[in-house]
Amino acid sequence: MKQFFITFFANLAALLFVFGGPILLLMILIVASFSVSSKGKRMISIERGSILVFDLSVNVTDSPEHATPTSPLAAALNGDNNKSVTLRHLTTALEKAAKDERIKALFLTGSFQPADFGTGFSSLKELREAILDFKQSGKEVYAYVEAPSTRDYYVASAASTIYMNPFGEMETPGLASIKTYYFDAFQKYGIDVQVTRVGKYKSAVEPFIVDKMSDADREETEKLLGDLWGDFVSAVADSRKIDPAAFQQLVDTEGYIRPESALNAKLVDKLAYFGDVLKDLGKIAPSSSYALVPLPFKQISIYDYINASRTPRLPGESHSDNVVAVLYLEGEIVDGWGDLTNIGGDRFAAELRELQRNNDIKAVVLRVNSPGGSAYASEVIQNEIIKLKEKKKPVIVSMGSYAASGGYWVSTYGDRIFAEPNTITGSIGVFGLFMDVQKLGNNFGITWDTAKTGNYADFETISRPKTPQELALAQSRVDDLYAKFLDKVSVSRGIPVQSVELIAQGRVWSGSDALNIKLVDQIGGLDQAINYAADKAGIGSNYRVKEYPEQMSFAETLALLLSNQEEPLSHAKVDPLTQQFLKIKADFKTLEELNDPLGMYARLPLGWEIR
């Protein structure tokens, strides 16, 4: 569908130009530009006594969308009308709604649609806490679930009243990390992989050299899953006033919990169909008789509320000249400029230099949601962070769902590091990955020959395996980079190198464990980091928040949309076979992004997906 629209608009543009329509085309683009890039908030009417409706059927991201979900052109070209919404927009809207006399209650419905690095448990914890704060204001929170996933129920369990469809089920059997291994397939087709690495737990290379989890990888994965699941169980038990052990027993017994069992266990309050829930809400907030479109109850969607012009003002929304910049680092870290799907080291460094030059910016909050990637690009970014601090601008790090390997590399020099208990961080280790397609080529009658002027002149070739001398050279480079990584953490965190080495080894830690071993300073979310940054800069509450990178222009967005040939993932629930093929596609995309000029990486293991 996307290709159709690309072809259609390209042909339309060509016809307009050929037949003397440049002015008409320009007018169309100008009108579209204003409709897409206008930053003014729409005038939205909010009736007193309305229920704020939060449809969870979104991907919750840290960084703002480059192409806004309200753009009809972007939606058409992407073949996708579903939304990605930033965490801060959601939490800010909930904070405002708690103080807004026109908002009577909150209604949660739908099911999250995670994609890329969005909708991680750390982000959902911040969202859940915002819902709990809303409830603390004295306003009710209602939730309707049908077949809630662990993510869905993690958030919905914060509600005052939970309705469940009588024919639904709770899909909360526990957390799992299913990793794909390519070793046998590569061997079958004649692709060999050689690796260099440092760190007992640095398992990012293992999918290509073994056919199952190593003991070390299984140990750290099970520990991390246990930490995340423990946070989930504790949160549910606390909100629902139930025994954690009883809940765990129910999960282990039924796996997919039936509605009757969920009701008996007090995981939900009522079994009801959606129409019955609407009737109940209609009694709480009767629909206005003068409404143009009859509604089952008086309501406003949280997405309209985000865009409403008249909502309570919060700290950070003043017109002060003092700016706390929130800079988002979300995605794979790659060398060079990168693209919309990753973090280019050079591009991000340029953003940091802009912040250095902007005198209005008094402090920077670096929001990190990244598994790492290129060690070289991570160092390029870290260098600019250090220079930003030299400008006497505090740099506070707020870790999202992932801040590991290269993600921790860029974080470690923060003046203070915030993380959630279920943030995935650490993974201080380095690896190199070298592929060899000699056998594959030979099978098709392809051979290679080389002339060179130095022993290592053809080191980067994939037409043959690395020699023992070359592997020794590669290992020495990895060892050197690992030692530098340890030194950086030691200096920035004030921990002896010997102690850093004990907690490094490529091991992944939860935010709670990271606090205990001093890799982070404080448990907290993005709002806490912003408040701390303002205090550190000595500006108190006299500041405004500005997010970076800034939203792209219409022309830039249009060019990228038209040039991007990748079909978007459907937000519909896909079958397991399709999921596996998409997973393989994502793994190979990650391989494409391993572009470090030195061939060395600080990254989480491939396929680190928690389900």
pLDDT digits (tens, 9 = 90+) for 532-564: 999 999 999 999 999 999 865 555 555 555 554
- Extract the runs of DSSP E, i.e. beta strands, from 282-437: 299-301, 323-330, 332-334, 342-344, 361-370, 372-374, 395-404, 416-419, 424-426, 430-436
Percent of the chain with pLDDT over 70: 80
pLDDT band at 295 (very low <50, low <70, confident <90, very high): confident
431: helix, strand or coil = strand
CA-based nearest residue to 192, from 569, 488, 466 = 466
- Cβ 477 vs Cβ 598: under 8 Å: yes
Walk me through the domains of the chain, giving residue ranges and CATH numbers.
1-34 (no CATH), 41-175+214-307 (3.90.226.10), 323-449+456-550+587-597 (3.90.226.10)
Question: For the CA atoms of 457, 463, 469, 475, what is the dihedral angle to 10 degrees?
Answer: 100
Specify which of 66-70, 235-239, 447-451 reaches the highest per-range mean pLDDT.
235-239
353 token code pair:
């230099």
> How confident is the model at residue 288, as a pLDDT?
76
Higher pLDDT among residues 605 and 333, named by residue? 333
Helix (H) or strand (E) holding 37: helix 22-37
Instruction: List beta partners, residue 143.
Output: 108, 162
pLDDT band at 568 (very low <50, low <70, confident <90, very high): very low
> How confident is the model at residue 605, as a pLDDT?
65
d(CA 549, CA 296): 40
pLDDT band at 116 (very low <50, low <70, confident <90, very high): confident
pLDDT band at 18 (very low <50, low <70, confident <90, very high): very low
Residues carrying an active site annotation: 202, 405
Whole-angstrom Cα Rg for the chain: 26
- Cβ 318 vs Cβ 542: under 8 Å: yes
User: Average pLDDT of 81-99?
Assistant: 90
Angle between helix axes 468-493 and 375-390 (nearest 10 degrees) is 30
The letter for the amino acid at 82 is N
Encode pLDDT of 132-180 as tens digits.
999 999 999 999 999 999 999 999 999 999 999 999 999 999 999 999 9
d(CA 247, CA 242): 7
362 token code pair:
């008094």
Check pLDDT > 60 for residue 435. yes
283 token code pair:
């009694």
- Cβ 104 vs Cβ 49: under 8 Å: yes
Angle between helix axes 87-99 and 121-136 (nearest 10 degrees) is 10
325: helix, strand or coil = strand
